[in-house]
Amino acid sequence: MNQVETKKLTSEVKELILSKEKDMIAFRRHLHKHPELSLEEIETTKALAEKLDEFGISYRLTEPTGIIAEIKGAGPGKTVLLRADMDALSVQQLNDVSYRSIEEGKMHACGHDTHVSMLLNAAYALNQVKDQFNGTVRLIFQPAEEIATGAKLMVEQGAVDGVDNAFGIHIWSGGKTGEVSCPAGPSFAAADVIRVYFTGRGGHAAQPHLNIDAAIMASQYVINAQSIVSREVDPLQPAVVTLGKMEVGTRFNVVAENAVIEGTIRTFDPETRDKVEASLKHYAQEIAQLYGGQAVVEYDRMTEPVNNEEHTAQLVQKVAAEAFGEESVENLPPTMGGEDFGYYMTKIPGAFATVGSGNAEKDTFWAHHSGRFNVDEDSLKVGAELYAQYALAYLAQDAF
C-alpha cells in the first residue's frame, strides 16, 4: 500500500468512527446505566453480540462471559489483538447524571463501559474497510479485569492463539481529554494480594501473661513490614506494601487468639517482587515465633506488570501523532495501579495506552474507582480511532 492509499484509508476510518460517535456514546451510557460485576457480564455480552451481528462480524462466546471476534482482511498477513474489558465495580454511584446506574451498589467506576464502546466502534470501522488491508484483527471483549482473572480466562480459551501483537487502551481521568500516553517500558505494576493469619492463645484480658496475644503479633507485623520497602528493596526499584485490612479479636476483655491481615503489593521488577514476597513471609514467621504463636501466609500473584514493548509503543505514538497531532502525545509516568492486560504480554509483545478523559469543566477529573467517576465523552472517538488506526498500521508493516 503506497502513501496515497494509506492516507485515504486512515481518512476513511476517521470518518467512519465519527459517523458512529453518537451511537458509541449511547451504547456507553446504556452500559453505564446497567453495570454488571466481574463474571456476571451476561447482559453486556448479549448487547455486544447483538451489535456484532448487526455489523456482520463473526465471533464466539467465551465462558462464562465475554467475546472473541475476528475481522479478516482481503489477504493473508499477521494477526493483531485489540482488547477491551467490560466489568463494573461494587461502588455506589454518587454523581447525578442522566445515565446514572440503576443497580444499587454497582457502577462503571473505572471506565470499562467506554472501553467496549470504543472497541465496538473501531470494529465497525475496520469491518467496513476489510477489503483494503491484509491480515486479521482479533477483538477481545474481556470480563473480570477487576478481579484479575479475565485475561487469563481469555488466554485459556484461545485469545492469543496465532496472534502476533496485542494492544489495549484504558480511559484515564488523570489525563486531559484526548491525550494519548504509551511510553515504552513499565506502565502498570504487578498487583499481588497477601493474607496473613496469626494464631495465639486467647484468654481473659486481666491475665495477659497466661495468653499469647494475636493482636500484638499483627500490630508488629503491620509496623515492621514497611521496613522491607525502606531497607531491603533497591531504592531505584519502586515497591508498595499496603496492609489495608486487619481483623483481630472478639471483644474488649478477651486477649485475641486470632488475627487476619490482608494487603496488596505493587512492583514492576521481577526480582523486587520475589524479594518482597519472601521477606513478607519471613517476617510473619519470625514475629509469630518471637511471641510464641503461629503464622500462615497466603500470597497470590494477581496481575503481571504491564511492560510496553519498545517497538509497539513507538508505533502507538506514531499513530496517535498522525491521527490527532503531535501535541496529543504525552509520556505519563508509570502507575502502581494494576491491569491484567499484562498477562497477554507474557505470551506476545504488545503495548497498553491511556486516553485522557479529564476535563475540569465537565467534572471528569475524579479518580478511578470513585463514586463520582465520569468521563468526558469527547475522548471516546479518540480511543476508538486509536484502536482502529493502530491495527491498520501494525498490519501494514512489512516487518515488525
Annotated binding site for Mn(2+): 110, 112, 146, 170, 369
Distance CA 112, CA 84 (A): 7
Distances (CA, A) of 299 to 153, 200, 262: 20, 21, 10
Amino acid type, 296:
V
**C-beta contacts of 7-10 below 8 A and 24+ residues apart:** 9/129, 9/132, 9/133, 9/392, 10/322, 10/323, 10/389, 10/392
Residues annotated within a binding site: 110, 112, 146, 170, 369
Distance CA 206, CA 361 (A): 60
Strands 294-303 and 134-142 come out as unpaired
Query: Which grid cell is 271?
Result: 526480582
Q: Are 249 and 183 contacting, i.e. CB atoms less than 8 angstroms apart? A: no
Q: Are 83 and 383 contacting, i.e. CB atoms less than 8 angstroms apart? A: no
Q: Are 257 and 200 contacting, i.e. CB atoms less than 8 angstroms apart? A: yes
Question: Which is nearest to 161 in space by CA: 308, 30, 300, 60?
Answer: 60
Question: Which is nearest to 201 in space by CA: 211, 216, 189, 191?
Answer: 211
